[in-house]
Amino acid sequence: MKKYQVFIGNAWKDSASGESFQSYNPFTGDPWAEIPKCDARDVDEAVEAAHDALYHGAWGKLSATERGALLRKLGDLVARDADSLTAVEVRDNGKLRAEIEGQVRGISQWLYFYGGLADKINGSVIPINKPNTFTYTLREPVGVVAAIVPWNSPLMLMVWKLAPALAAGCTMVIKPSEHTSASALEFAALVREAGFPEGVVNVVTGFGQDVGDRLTTHPKVAKVAFTGGETAGQKIMENAAATFKRLTLELGGKSAQIVFPDADLDAAVSGGIAGIFAATGQTCIAGSRLLVHESIYEAYLDKFVASAKTARMGDPMEMATQVGPVTTQPQLDRIVSYIEIAKSEGARCVLGGAPAQRPECGNGWFVEPTVFADVRNDMRIAQEEVFGPVVSLISFRDDEEAYEIANDTDYGLAAGVWTSSIKRATVAPKRLRAGTVWVNTYRAASFLMPFGGVKASGFGRENGIEAIDQYLETKSVWLSY
């Protein structure tokens, strides 16, 4: 069993309590790594290290150009170690190697992009109408950032926070999910190798109720960048209120893909399949509601089921595998319970509907790709985030009804539209209340494009130039002469 230590002040340490917990391989169901079980003492040490690095240590004295060079060096090291980082994350998370490889390659791009931006953060000179006065603004790091990360894309979602935060000059304490801590610790070794001064990046491992709670109440943490579920998001907002921390919350979704009658049906089927079954449905942007025009509903359903039926399940390290295990046993139980709820609500299960019993799935935590037809949007299966390979098909009569159903959700993370009409392709993004709208594509992401939610999907944006703003404060300077 691999035994990990946490990373505080560029040093490797056991947890203060000396306790640890196990991380499991979802494909075998077996534990494979020992992870330190940190508590408030470890968090306090890490936050002090980050605070010192920023306000007293070497990091606060580096030029922005030097910060950028370190980020780009880190990008090189991630590219060099992409295979081993991928293997760790596949083992810990169960996601397909093909998917993780793409994400790890992306991480280098993110680090290069934000490394390049580091010395292009400018304040401005503001010519106010007052004699003998020079007025300007400085853009300064917000302070120590706590990055709290979920298990579904551990490294990628961590770097979406780390790259702009470090480019802005912040220091960080990172808490990966208790289910997938290993890749963040492997990444920390590269941070040290790249030459970042001590205390700039710290990684503490453990559970939300102690490590997460202390991080989000610690008076020296200035900002929390969180990706995860609404329950934790609400608790973090409450905790942050006491010390007025800045917040970015990237929460869940119940995203709709609308298939209009003029859509290219084959493309809409492939987009629907990728939208829900990528990462075994465990993505915040999962297209879990497919709204299909009544005139093509049966044709779409037939093609969709025929395609989903062929999905190859099995070892996530095999490049031919198309649907891997879900990440944890509780996640498997949760998905199965939602399948039962949908059946009891009267949704028609046309494919799957149970844990997978295929020999190629071994003892892993697998759920059959599951398709529900004749779903009504007020059913729980259409309103609540399942976070698994379960899709609901809903039919609509006209465009107005499609937009109404799509927006009839607490969430607002993403939406998809399939159409050959230029009018619909233009109108739909305006009508849909979501942070991202994809037209004739789904799931595309880039370091250049802002990403985030509205409504219960959270607030703040990651990625793109504007992500830097989430880690900066503006200081106004008045100089009289």
- Binding of residue 178 to ligand NAD (CB under 6 A): yes
Question: Which residues, 6+ apart, have CB-to-CB distance to 31 below 8 Å?
Answer: 1, 22, 23, 24, 25
Which C-beta is closer to ligand NAD: that of 284 or that of 371? 284
| Residue from the set 72, 139, 175, 245 that interacts with ligand NAD by CB under 6 A | 175
Region binding ligand NAD by CB under 6 A among candidate stretches 23-31, 142-150, 262-270, 420-428: 142-150
- Minimum CB–partner distance for residue 334 and ligand NAD (Å): 10
Cβ 148 vs Cβ 162: under 8 Å: no
Q: Tell me the β-bridge partners of 226.
A: 148, 249
Which C-beta is closer to ligand NAD: that of 233 or that of 314? 233
**How many angstroms separate the CA atoms of 60 and 20, rounded?**
33
**How many angstroms separate the CA atoms of 313 and 355, rounded?**
12
- Binding of residue 93 to ligand NAD (CB under 6 A): no
Two structure tokens written together for 301: 């359903």
- Minimum CB–partner distance for residue 142 and ligand NAD (Å): 19
Contacts of ligand NAD in 402-421 (CB under 6 A) = 413
Which C-beta is closer to ligand NAD: that of 403 or that of 451? 451
Contacts of ligand NAD in 223-252 (CB under 6 A) = 227-229, 232, 235-236, 250-252
- Binding of residue 453 to ligand NAD (CB under 6 A): yes
- Binding of residue 460 to ligand NAD (CB under 6 A): no
| Residue from the set 23, 103, 177, 183 that interacts with ligand NAD by CB under 6 A | 177
**HEC profile for 203-233?**
ECCCCHHHHHHHHHHCCCEEEEEEECCHHHH
Which C-beta is closer to ligand NAD: that of 250 or that of 399? 250
Number of residues lying near ligand NAD (CB under 6 A)? 32
- Minimum CB–partner distance for residue 147 and ligand NAD (Å): 9
- Binding of residue 158 to ligand NAD (CB under 6 A): no
- Minimum CB–partner distance for residue 329 and ligand NAD (Å): 13
| Residue from the set 284, 326, 373, 437 that interacts with ligand NAD by CB under 6 A | 284
Which C-beta is closer to ligand NAD: that of 327 or that of 395? 327
Active site residue 34: no
Active-site hit among 250, 368, 385, 462:
250
How many residues are listed for the chain in this entry?
Answer: 481
Which C-beta is closer to ligand NAD: that of 141 or that of 208? 208
| Residue from the set 212, 369, 416, 460 that interacts with ligand NAD by CB under 6 A | 212
| Residue from the set 26, 75, 141, 150 that interacts with ligand NAD by CB under 6 A | 150
Contacts of ligand NAD in 347-376 (CB under 6 A) = none
**How many angstroms separate the CA atoms of 332 and 366, rounded?**
7
Which C-beta is closer to ligand NAD: that of 385 or that of 399? 385
| Residue from the set 387, 396, 438, 447 that interacts with ligand NAD by CB under 6 A | 387
What character string, x for contact with ligand NAD (CB under 6 A) and - otherwise, covers 19-38? --------------------
Binding site for ligand NAD (CB under 6 A): 148-152, 157, 175, 177-178, 207-209, 212-213, 216, 227-229, 232, 235-236, 250-253, 284, 385, 387, 413, 453, 457-458
- Catalytic machinery residues: 250
